[in-house]
Chains A and B, each alone.
Chain A
Amino acid sequence: MHIGIDVGGTNTDAVLMDGTHTLAGVKHSTTPDVTSGIVQAIEDLRSGHHFEGEQIDAVMIGTTHFINALVQAKRLAPTAALRLGLPATKALPPLVDWPEALVEAISARSYLAHGGYEFDGRPISPLDPDELRAHAADMKANGIRSVAISSVFSPVNHDLEVEAGRIIAEELGPDVAISLSHEIGRIGLLERENATIINAALRELASEIVDGLTTAVRRQGIDAQIFLSQNDGTLMDEDYVRLYPVATFASGPTNSMRGAAVTSGLETCAVVDVGGTTADIGLLINGFPRETANVVKVAGIRTNFRMPDVLSLGIGGGSIVDTETGEVGPESVGYRLTTEALVFGGSTLTATDIAVAAGRADVGDPSKVAHLDPDLVSRVLARIAERVAEAVDRMRTSPEPIPVVAVGGGSILLPELLPLFGKVHRPENYAVANAIGASIAQVGGEIDKVYSIEPGRREEALSDVRAEAVDKAIAAGASPRSVAIVDFDEVPIPYLPGNATRIRVKAVGDLDMAV
């Protein structure tokens, strides 16, 4: 048996699983402190389905703590950003485009040093250990407790980041956390560096949270290993979280999508999560969310770490209906739905009223919407279906047919058959889908690098990269027999000689729970 817990901003879900079978599921409001929420969730599960601590093989937790800490600019460590690349990159130093408030919140210091590589791996300039030691001394004098190190083209060669990290650690001592950019982001120096600085600022909090979670779980008599969900849906163990808290940022939407897919028995599908104000649409390929190729802004900072690609439409259960045009949203009554909507005795015509008038849902008092023009009702619903279908079509990457899974309270707005896509799947047990999503026990390894491929040696090069990703997944705890390549992407880079190609490979396998 294993336990999945998803700590969202509003609700905490928890499930007790036996393989893919749900034995018990609970849901309640998220508590301000991590520990008591987890304790309560596990106790509730135990009363739903009794278990002994030693029967639990693993506990998987999804949490929004880290992204919230950044958004609220709270509990962030004093952080230094050190970039290796001089004499290049001087015009745009680290932290160049950051919101002032966040720069202050992390008492940020920015340093430039020699180092870095060209696109083909030639060095720009050698490391200067004395320069690094001088920077370290300044960091020390300014109370820096966490350091982010980035280097030009470190996705091509990361040796200098590692070496600089060693020198800085030597000077600052073991209590200072070091984050290296090649382990966090991809090509695009500023975005990768930003993600690394965010990670560095969260390192102290990560240790606190991991300690808190561990204590809470151990107190329940559970000695099993604890994992946290990453943005891509795979798991990381607690040691990894202490090093890379930033990898949890998008685990909320990811767990929701993966949970929806698992409960509907689909591996590749589009998930439409209709809430009160928005419909969020994402794509699952082989059980994993399709990641955005675009820059993602987090708390006003441009980053390029792996986030699920989610398209939000202003359509939800609380969306206000324009009787003239038949359009809904983006204005919504939001959480006031149960007082403002017609069916609840309010005076605002909402999308929920339309769904009730059409007989799609049985909430509130249907007699209060009996007067609505049936033409308007069918026009509004057809328009919603059309917009959602168009958005799903926009999200998919090819014209291949793809099943659509609808979840969330507002999914009553969607028809049984969606234009272009046909039958809409509506999984049961969705209330705790986030926790089910968290409980899916898979681990992965990913490679994203620029390679120079010699003519005629493409296949050989690609198989090397694939093998490297598989090894990485196994090192992360995947059972070797279960590892498969789930994502592969090859993009030639313009204006570069030597067939420079950016290759991205992701391998994923089942967590070896016997460990």
Chain B
Amino acid sequence: MSWKITSDLIPDLARGAAVLGTGGGGDPYIGALLATQALREHGDVTVVTLDEVPADAVVLTVAMMGAPTVMVEKLPSLDEVTAPVHALGTYLGSPVTHIACAEIGGVNSTIPIAAAAALGLPLLDADGMGRAFPELQMVLPTLSGITASPLAFSDEKGNVGVLQTIDNSWTERIARVACVEMGCSVMISGFPMSGEQAQEALVPGSLAHCIEIGRGIVAAQEAKADPVERTVALLGGRELFAGKVVDVQRGTTTGFSRGRARIEGADATLSLSFQNEHLIAEADGRTLVTTPDLIIVLEHDSGEPITTEALRYGQRVRVISAPSDERWHAPEALAMVGPAYFGYDQPSHRFDGSVEEPLKVAA
């Protein structure tokens, strides 16, 4: 059943998106503020569940591409949010009917709301990942054979480009170069799909889930209950570890913030490897969980999600894991978002610790 996103839902949604962002996705403040302003200016956004999308709908994903650090300085103007959707509608020759989130983590869960509001289009209660990943092609539609291109991108100056590429990795490569030239913060729209394809390829119920998680944390805080426990229950996951952050090392390689954090618990040490998002959790040399399942760091008592950028020495945290969408565990999916893709030589471990078949990754 369809429902409305109103500005008072945004704080819960943004908090939930930071949880599902698994440490990545940037400062949720600007994204939340953008969505709030757009809703105030253009009115509420209608959210349509996947089961009620017409089969012949024309669905596009909308996202920000670039550096979150740039976006907190060069704020968006909202024109660049609508421009790529219009450009792609023109290129496709059929009017766009629905907007969807490519990922449900960090700013990319709120920017499509601003876009839908400004365009006056309904938004799907769905997303392409069920979490956050760093690269454009890392969405479930890629697995369903839906191509990122034609993909449109635009900057605030009015420059718009439409890419037609041979595969999604090429879209990522070319768009990334254009993104840097255009000032490292652009809006993109792509993955054109029909309503029928969207039903098959997207993760259903993402926005409602975000709001539920965000609201659960706040409600538990207010009821003096345990927000972390509540979150674990809502995600169907498990609590991995509790302890104190004793070391965070980070560096930037090839544009991504890579690093490791060590968390000391009562009788063990947990090590987290991250690359914008948390990718691997190990305790005393033994792997507990890896990408694509979710590894989430929450503040020990308040349950507030902590991004990898905000991790620092002395924080008391709890680390939880949760299952990702089952489709991420298919061999071709693991080749795209498993530990090996990110340069870690080990098989994928599910949120409950079970090991998946090691994969041969094409060089």
Residues of A participating in the B interface, judged by any CB pair closer than 8 Å: 85-92, 96-97, 116, 118-119, 122, 124-125, 152-153, 187-190, 293, 295, 302, 390, 393-399, 492-497, 499-500
Contacts and interface: CB of A to CB of B under 8 A. Distances in A.
B217 to A, nearest CB: 19
B78 A91 contact: yes
B6 interface: no
Nearest to B72: A188
21 contacts: A88-B75, A88-B156, A90-B78, A92-B30, A92-B37, A96-B33, A119-B67, A119-B69, A124-B74, A124-B156, A124-B157, A152-B74, A153-B73, A190-B75, A492-B257, A494-B252, A494-B276, A495-B66, A495-B68, A495-B184, A497-B255
A319 B29 CA distance: 35
A118 B76 contact: no
B86 interface: no
Nearest to A302: B29
Given A92-B30, A122-B183, A398-B313, 16 more contacts: A87-B157, A88-B76, A89-B74, A89-B76, A90-B77, A119-B73, A124-B157, A293-B312, A395-B314, A494-B255, A494-B256, A494-B309, A495-B68, A496-B67, A496-B184, A497-B180
Contacts of A87: 77, 79, 156-158
B136 interface: no
Contacts of B29: 295, 302
B244 to A, nearest CB: 7
A399 B246 CA distance: 7
Contacts of B72: 187-190
Contacts of B75: 85, 88-89, 91-92, 152, 189-190
Interface-centre pick from B69, B72, B251, B315 (highest chain A CB count, 10 A): B69
Given A395-B314, A398-B313, A85 B67 contact: no
Contacts of B211: none
A125 B70 contact: no
B33 A493 contact: no
Contacts of A96: 33, 37
A397 B314 contact: yes
A125 B30 CA distance: 23
Contacts of B294: none
A198 B158 CA distance: 33
Interface residues of B, number: 42
Contacts of A116: 74
B69 A187 contact: yes
Contacts of B70: 119, 495-496
Pick the most buried of B37, B75, B78, B255: most chain A CB atoms within 10 A of its CB: B75
Given A90-B79, A492-B251, A152 B158 contact: no
B74 A88 contact: yes
B313 A187 contact: no
Contact of B37 (A91, A394, A397): A91
B315 A394 contact: yes
A393 B244 contact: yes
A125 B250 CA distance: 34
Contacts of A86: 77
A494 B255 CA distance: 5
Main secondary structure of the interface of A (DSSP, over half): loop
A396 B313 contact: yes
Contact of B250 (A153, A398, A492): A492
Interface string B153-188: 000111000000000000000000000100110000
Contact of B69 (A92, A190, A293, A493): A493
A275 B182 CA distance: 53
B53 to A, nearest CB: 28
Given A90-B79, A91-B37, A393-B244, A494 B69 contact: yes
Contacts of B78: 90-91
Contacts of A395: 314
Interface SS majority for chain B: mixed
A383 to B, nearest CB: 16
Nearest to B157: A87
A187 B27 CA distance: 13
Contact of B77 (A89, A118, A190, A393): A89
A124 B70 CA distance: 13
Most central of A89, A153, A494 by chain B CB within 10 Å: A494
Contact of A91 (B76, B180, B252, B257): B76
A509 B148 CA distance: 57
A91 B38 contact: yes
A496 B157 contact: no
A64 B34 CA distance: 34
A495 B37 contact: no
A122 to B, nearest CB: 8
A119 B314 contact: no
B33 A118 contact: no
Instruction: Name which of B30, B37, B184, B250 has the most chain A CB atoms within 10 A of its CB.
Output: B184
Contacts of A496: 67, 69-70, 184, 252, 255
Interface in B1-51: 29-30, 33-34, 37-38
Contacts of B316: 390, 394
A340 B310 CA distance: 42
B85 interface: no
B216 to A, nearest CB: 24
B10 to A, nearest CB: 12
5 cross-chain pairs, A with B, having the tightest CB-CB distances, nearest first: A494-B257, A495-B67, A492-B252, A90-B77, A91-B78
A401 to B, nearest CB: 14
Nearest to B250: A492
B114 interface: yes
A153 B29 CA distance: 19
Contacts of B33: 92, 96-97, 190
B20 to A, nearest CB: 19
A394 B314 contact: yes
Contacts of B314: 393-397
B272 to A, nearest CB: 16
A188 B74 CA distance: 9
Contacts of A152: 73-75
B77 A88 contact: yes
Nearest to A156: B73
Contacts of B312: 293, 397
Contact of B183 (A92, A118, A399, A499): A118
Contacts of A90: 77-79, 156
Contacts of B34: 91-92
Nearest to A191: B72
A90 B81 CA distance: 12
B360 to A, nearest CB: 30
Nearest to A394: B314
A118 B157 contact: no
A500 B180 CA distance: 12
Interface in B59-111: 66-70, 72-79, 81
Contacts of A396: 313-314
B37 A119 contact: no
B136 to A, nearest CB: 12
Nearest to A125: B157
B310 to A, nearest CB: 8
A500 B67 CA distance: 11
A92 B316 CA distance: 34
Contacts of B37: 91-92, 96
Nearest to A498: B180
Contacts of A189: 72-75
A125 B75 CA distance: 15
Interface string B128-164: 0000000000000000000000000000111000000
Nearest to A390: B316
Contacts of B257: 492, 494-495
A396 B81 CA distance: 42
A87 B183 CA distance: 13
Given A87-B158, A187-B73, A399-B246, A499 B38 contact: no
B319 to A, nearest CB: 17
